[in-house]
Amino acid sequence: MNLLLDEIARATTRLAEAGVASPRADAEELAAAVHGVSRGELHTLPDNAFDARYWEGIARREAGEPLQHITGRAFFRYLELAVGPGVFVPRPETEVVAGWAIDTLREMDVADPVVVDLGTGSAAIALSIAQEVPQARVHAVELDADAYRWASRNIENLDERGQVTPHHTDFARALPELDGLVDLVVSNPPYIPMSEWEYVPRDVRDHDPAAALWGGGDDGLDAVRVVERTARRLLRPGGFVAVEHSDLQGAPVYWIFAEEHGWRDQRNRRDLTDRDRFVTARLTTE
């Protein structure tokens, strides 16, 4: 048997015993990162190519450190992002939010759509939109200093056409110069209530930045309420907003985008596991 594949099998057992949710995938991804190959190429490495540093990564993952902090990278749609301590690790469910935003922009009768990503984190959504909608101009807003540095790094490395502009500011005061001019606002804001602290996985609550997790208020939705007000200010009549939330918050987030605030066409939308994941709405044209 190939030595590396044998070591991956042993590592999978260790990670499973440590309670890691996806032990085989994590063991393979760590092996690929250490050896500088893709997961599909692991079986091609000769025995003498095995790097013992692999077991250092496995020990860190056993101890609860996020896989992406160990490898220094996170995959999101067609991107490979740099991530690490101080920035929220983008999740697969957020790819559905980005996908809806991309599809909506492609359907717009707008030559150069203007997009604002509130709370950009690693800039995953902003960069995906820029990559897949070449005519879009994207503004990536982030207040946290550490996260802003990660976003700026990814934008510098991945924004080949210069479409994404980072802004180091908060949701509420962001981009007054664009009031009434934006075609789409998208956000994956913090939304977890502190009452749920004990139910949040250890590698999330101990390593993702607190500012990206806890949304404020008894229901965790204070940050979403700020996004609603800012989106209402930024969007042109007929512009769209998309806001991610937990699978239990679809109804309350839906009602935050109320008709009396000028919203219409509100919809709860689901992720790939068929759970409520984000709300979309359109600013009235009246």
Binding-site residues for S-adenosyl-L-methionine, in ranges, read 142, 171, 188
- For 114, the token pair is 């203007």
DSSP states along 109-141:
S-SS-EEEEES-TTTHHHHHHHHHSTT-EEEEE
Q: 207-221: string of b/e by CB count within 10 Å (b at 16+)?
A: bbbebbbbbbeeebb
User: CA–CA distance from 58 to each of 12, 18, 81, 180 (Å)?
Assistant: 9, 11, 21, 50
Residue 238 zone, left/alpha/beta (φ > 0; ψ -120 to 50; rest): left
Q: From the annotation, which residues make up the binding site?
A: 142, 171, 188-191
Give the type of residue at 90: P
Q: From the annotation, which residues make up the binding site for substrate?
A: 188-191
Residue 227 zone, left/alpha/beta (φ > 0; ψ -120 to 50; rest): alpha
Say which residues have a Cβ less than 8 Å from residue 184's Cβ, sequence separation at least 6. 101, 104, 105, 108, 113, 114, 115, 116, 235, 239, 240, 241, 242
- For 63, the token pair is 């101890």
Q: 151-167: string of b/e by CB count within 10 Å (b at 16+)?
A: bbbbbeebbeeebbebb
CB 105 within 8 A of CB 184: yes
CA end-to-end span of the chain: 69
Residue showing tokens 């937990």: 246
